[in-house]
Amino acid sequence: MNGFLNILKPPGITSAAVVARVRRLTGEKRVGHAGTLDPEAAGVLPIMIGKAARLFDFLVDKEKEYVAEAAFGVSTDTQDATGHVTSRGDHYPAYDDVVLMLKRLEGDIVQRPGMFSAIKKDGKPMYELARKGETAEVPERIVHVESIVPRGEMPDHGVLMTVRCGRGTYIRSICDDLGRLCGCPAHMRFLLRTVSGAFTIDTAMTLEEAEALQKRGELAARLLPPDMPLGHMAKAVYTENARRLIAAGAKLPLTAEQAETLPDGMNTRVYLNGEFWGIAVRDGGHLVWRAQIAPEET
């Protein structure tokens, strides 16, 4: 089995636990996920299976979209509803004021995520230190927030919003920062990821659906092909004459057209007679392999 599953992760389990269930389900050792989701968050979690795991470094996961709820009145040490309360306040902002403050969190912004984050210090995730009761200064980072669209008020002083952002953005920190800007402590009460690169929630399946498909022997047919999330890349097509070079993983000479259109250093999808064989990069007059995904029958 080689390809991707677009899994709709439920709240209450880790991304690693989803990988473990898919590994048991498929019997495939090479299984991984692209883009961690917090345990209490739900939504799109791309799962790489088999040879598709070699493509992790080439996936475009810069574009992500979330539906989130910020709840005013309490801030926590995890910046979400699972943490311990660190401050309280009852100066609840008016909805129009929240809308104005959300604009200040768009664009390139500086974030300092909390201790309960996957950011590493000395090779260890910060959340591991936090669980041991240790403290350390979390470094600031610049992240890009494309847009934050307010969706209305929710019960118990909540505000629903849709956030489009780049990788590495912590929605929990956006909610915490929103509370600071509005003068009332806030935390993230709800999070649903609806887009992760080429993967969207409308095509995601639950783990239960995946298990049912596997029992019927239909899961392999539902795998998304390895090149599905690579449409942003340039494409080089070769004919049967190049089969021996491609199968051997040798350098591939550029055609005249490729030489005109592919700059040095550009990652390129390589196809042989319409079949995807992997990713190569231009180096002078040749394409040099970076990740080879030979079709199964070869």
pTM: 0.86
AA identity, residue 170:
Y
3-state secondary structure of 184: coil
Single out the residue of 173, 31, 34, 198 nearest to residue 116, CA to CA: 173
The full length of the chain comes to 298
pLDDT in tens, the chain (298 residues): 899 999 999 999 999 999 999 999 999 999 999 888 888 899 999 999 999 999 988 887 668 999 999 999 999 988 999 899 999 999 999 999 999 999 999 999 998 776 555 666 565 665 665 566 666 566 788 999 999 999 999 999 999 999 999 888 999 999 999 999 999 999 999 999 999 989 999 999 999 999 999 999 999 999 999 999 999 899 999 999 999 999 999 999 998 889 999 999 999 999 999 999 999 999 999 999 999 988 765 4
List, in sequence order, the alpha helices (H) in 86-193: 95-103, 126-131, 171-182
Of 38, 61, 80, 176, which residue is the catalytic one? 38
Residue 232 burial (CB < 10 Å; 0-12/13-18/19+)? middle
What distance in Å separates the CA atoms of residue 196 and residue 34, rounded to the nearest whole number?
9
What distance in Å separates the CA atoms of residue 106 and residue 102, rounded to the nearest whole number?
7
Residue 38: active-site member: yes
> How many other β-carbons are positioned within 10 Å of the β-carbon of residue 127?
16
**Cβ contact 49:22 at 8 Å:** yes
